[in-house]
Amino acid sequence: MADFHDAFEAALGGDAAALKPWLPDTEAPGLKVYRNTIARGRAEVLAAAFPTVARLTGEDWFRAAALEFARAHPPGEPAMDRYGAGFPDWLAQFPPARDLPYLAPVARLDRAFSEAHAAPDAPVLDPAGAAVMDTAALYAARAELHPSARVFWFDWTVASIWLSERGFEPADTLAWTQQAEGVLVVRPQMTVTAVRLDRAQAAFLRACRDGATLGQAATKAFTADLAADLRSLFTALLRAGAFTRLHAQS
C-alpha cells in the first residue's frame, strides 16, 4: 500500500509514469487538478502570511517564489499557521531577490505579525505594579516580554516601509536608505500593534528578552544612547504592552 502512496506523490511531483499500475493514462487531466489544488493551497497560505512581501513584489513574482520555496520546503502540518517560518531566510538567499534587499527583513516583520496574532494570551504588566517597587528592587527584577512581543532593529529603512505598507503609518513616498530603525510588534490584547523603537528602547527590550535584569537592560540602553531617559523609556514600553510580568529577584 506504501507503493501506491509513493507512486501518487511521485506523480504529484511530475512523474506520472510511477502511477501507471493504477493509472495507465499518464496524461489524465485529473492529475493536474490535484497538482493545481496543492500548488494553489501552498501559494495562498504563504501569500496570506506574507502580505507585504506579496504586495511589494506583485502577485506573479510572489507566487513563483512561493512555489519554489514550497518545493524545497513543503509544509509538514495541516495546521498551516506556522508554515513559512523559514521563508524570510530563504528569500534572503533567493537569487531573483538579490536586487530587493528589503524583502527578507520585510518578510521577518510579516512573520512577526502572524506569530503575534496567534501567540498565547497573556496579561499586560500593570505600570502600577512597577511603580510601588523601590529603585533597587526594580533594578534587580526581570521584566518578562509579552509572549506576542517581537523586537527588531534594522540598519536600513525596513520599519518605515513595513509600517506604511501594513497601514500602521500613513503611506508616504518611501525611500530605501541606510537609516537605523527599530520596531516592536506586539499583541497586548486582541489586536496586533506595531510601534517604533529608538536605539535605547530596542537595546533595553532585547536585553530584557535575553533574560537581563532591568538594571542590566538600563546599562544596555545607556550604552546605545547616553542621553536615554530611562523613566520615559520604561513608561513608553509599558504603555505599548511590551511586558507581561515582573519577576522580583528571589
Partner 1 sequence: MQSLNHGPTAGLGLKPAHYDEALASPAVGLWFEVHPENYMVDGGPRLAWLDAIRREKPLSLHGVGLSLAADEAPDAGHLARLKALADRYEPFVMSEHLAWSKRRGTYHPDLLPFPRTRAMLARIVENVDRAQTALGRRLLIENPSLYLALEGHELGEVEFLDALAGATGCGLLVDVNNVFVSARNLGFSAEAYLDALPAEAIGEVHLAGHTPDPNHGETLLIDSHDAPVAEAVWTLYARLIARVGPRPTLVERDDNIPAFAELMAERDRAHAALAPAARAPLPEAAHG
CB of 163 to partner 1, least distance (A): 20
Beta bridge partners of 19: none
Tell me the three state secondary structure of residue 233.
helix
**Whose Cβ is closer to partner 1: residue 71's or residue 98's?**
71
Q: What is the DSSP string of 70-135?
A: HHHS----SSGGGTTTTHHHHHHH-GGGTT-TTHHHHHHHHHHHHHHHHSPP-PPPPHHHHHTS-H
The Cα–Cα gap between 72 and 147 comes to 30
CB of 57 to partner 1, least distance (A): 22
Q: Is 78 one of the binding residues for partner 1 (CB under 8 A)?
A: yes
Q: Is 167 one of the binding residues for partner 1 (CB under 8 A)?
A: no
**Whose Cβ is closer to partner 1: residue 45's or residue 137's?**
45
Q: Applying CB under 8 A, which of residues 17, 26, 34, 248 lies at the interface with partner 1?
A: 34
- Binding residues with partner 1: total (CB under 8 A): 42
Q: Is 72 one of the binding residues for partner 1 (CB under 8 A)?
A: no
For 203, the enclosing helix (H) or strand (E) is helix 199-209
Cβ pair 143, 125 in contact under 8 A: yes
Phi and psi angles of residue 204, each rounded to the nearest 5 degrees, phi first:
-65, -50
**Whose Cβ is closer to partner 1: residue 38's or residue 133's?**
38
Q: Is 79 one of the binding residues for partner 1 (CB under 8 A)?
A: yes
CB of 83 to partner 1, least distance (A): 8
Q: Is 131 one of the binding residues for partner 1 (CB under 8 A)?
A: no
Separation in Å, CA 50 to CA 83, 109, 116, 124, 174: 11, 9, 14, 27, 19
Q: Is 15 one of the binding residues for partner 1 (CB under 8 A)?
A: no
Positions in the binding site for partner 1 (CB under 8 A): 1-2, 4-5, 8-9, 12, 21-24, 28-31, 33-34, 37-38, 41-42, 45, 74-81, 116-122, 147-148, 187, 190-191
